[in-house]
Amino acid sequence: MLVELQSDAFKDSNKIRETITFHAGINAVVAKELANNSIGKTSFLLAVDFAFGGEAYVSDDAGIVSGFGHHTLNFAFDFGNGKMLFSRSTETPDIVNVCGKDYRTVTEQLSVKDY
């Protein structure tokens, strides 16, 4: 199960957002009470897809890279034996990094296919 997602590109009022934590069961993506359209709900869902190995997040049609520049997504999965940390960059989207504690060290690199 995907348990967390973080990127320095995720901002709220120009401040980097805290790590987004997912819980068992249904997780909803909703706008703030005073928000309107174009606040990032679809971009966020594309980021989740990117964590699962998808490619739409870095496509020209999505406009993520052209709008925010290249950046890295950090994400963790828990398959019942503790968190496993990974990262993936928009600059090298064909590579998924297996990370050590706090995403700071890369212990292994995998192709998206092997991932």
Q: What is the pLDDT of residues 85-100, one digit of tens each?
A: 999 999 999 999 999 9
Rounded CA gap, 71 and 10, in Å? 10
CB 103 within 8 A of CB 85: yes
Asked whether the predicted pLDDT for residue 38 surpasses 70, the reply is no
Rounded CA gap, 115 and 110, in Å? 6
pLDDT number for residue 48: 97
Rounded CA gap, 92 and 96, in Å? 9
Give the burial class of 49: count Cβ atoms within 10 A of its Cβ; 0-12 exposed, 13-18 middle, 19 or more buried. Answer: middle
Q: Look up the pTM and report it.
A: 0.90
Tokens of 53: 């190995």
Asked whether the predicted pLDDT for residue 35 surpasses 80, the reply is no
